Amino acid sequence: AQSVSQHNHHVILSEAASLELGCNYSYGGTVNLFWYVQYPGQHLQLLLKYFSGDPLVKGIKGFEAEFIKSKFSFNLRKPSVQWSDTAEYFCAVNINAGNNRKLIWGLGTSLAVNP
């Protein structure tokens, strides 16, 4: 069955530390990839997305992600985190399942950034 795995459930960092959150999916066909962020008490917002082209995608607030097709991965990175990056981060993969597209979500990674 198709699935999305986020390896880190909880991450605690100090400000200015570098961040990398892992995301792997299990599906051999064409995918679109997303990272969403959910700040405390808010709804999910798109951080960045990959549909095609350059596998290194830049999103908002200094985040970027790299699609490595051979590894079925789409890891999220930020060189220097801020306290305001404290949030829940979700990886999602849109797959082609027959005639339908299906959006599959990871369980999320909770990031706490200490000032």
**Using CB under 8 A as the criterion, which residues of the chain lie in contact with another protein when the complex forms?**
32, 34, 36, 42-46, 49, 51, 90, 92, 100-103, 105, 107-108
Nearer to another protein, 17 or 64 (CB): 64
Least gap, CB of 75 to another protein (angstroms): 18
Least gap, CB of 80 to another protein (angstroms): 26
Nearer to another protein, 36 or 113 (CB): 36
Nearer to another protein, 17 or 44 (CB): 44
Maximum alpha-carbon separation in the chain: 48
Least gap, CB of 40 to another protein (angstroms): 12
